[in-house]
Amino acid sequence: MSSGYSLGTVEVSSSPQERFADFLQSKGKRITQQRRILIDFVFKRHDHFDAEELILNLAQVPEGRKVSRPTVYRTLNELVDSGLLRRMNLRGRAIYEHDYGYPQHDHLHCTMCDKLIEFQSSELSDLLRAVAAEYDFRDTGHRLIISGICSACSATRHRRQTPLDLV
């Protein structure tokens, strides 16, 4: 992928943990040990995941085993409501990604292997702003997911069958 489409960074004033604690406090809820473990786990790396993948990955670390399945589902919804995570629906499955501290970006979705590729394009942003202006529309953001087939799946799909494929 060309470097012109790579994501940058966004400076934030508070950590995801602090922002989530503030959100919970505004709702009259408290940050429990299970929620703290979950948010630390989710924000250690940036990837796309669903609830079941998160539960399986949590079970592989000792402190993650303390987080119950209902807490995972409930907390994921709260993380979306707080603006820390973004939820996308792909083929009937809820996929989550970091939203807080990450710039506006779009996705390419391979419908064969479910790979998600993030990209950012100033040309696309300019076009969307122009369309909004044409319709006298004040845009506050967008979400674009382009579906198709990635190069790896495309190469596999169009590859000529060999005798080894019959084994």
Annotated binding site for Zn(2+): 110, 113, 150, 153
List per-residue pLDDT tens for the chain, 167 residues long: 333 444 666 777 889 999 999 999 999 999 999 999 999 999 988 889 999 999 999 999 999 999 999 999 999 999 999 999 999 999 889 999 988 877 788 899 999 998 989 898 889 989 999 999 999 999 888 889 999 999 999 888 665 666 666 66
Question: Token pair 């943990």 is at which residue?
Answer: 17
Please name each of the domains of the chain with its CATH number: 14-102 (1.10.10.10), 103-167 (3.30.1490.190)
Annotated binding site: 106, 110, 113, 142, 150, 153
Annotated binding site for Fe cation: 106, 142
Q: Give the model's pLDDT for residue 45.
A: 83
Closest by CA position to 73, among listed 90, 87, 92, 63: 87
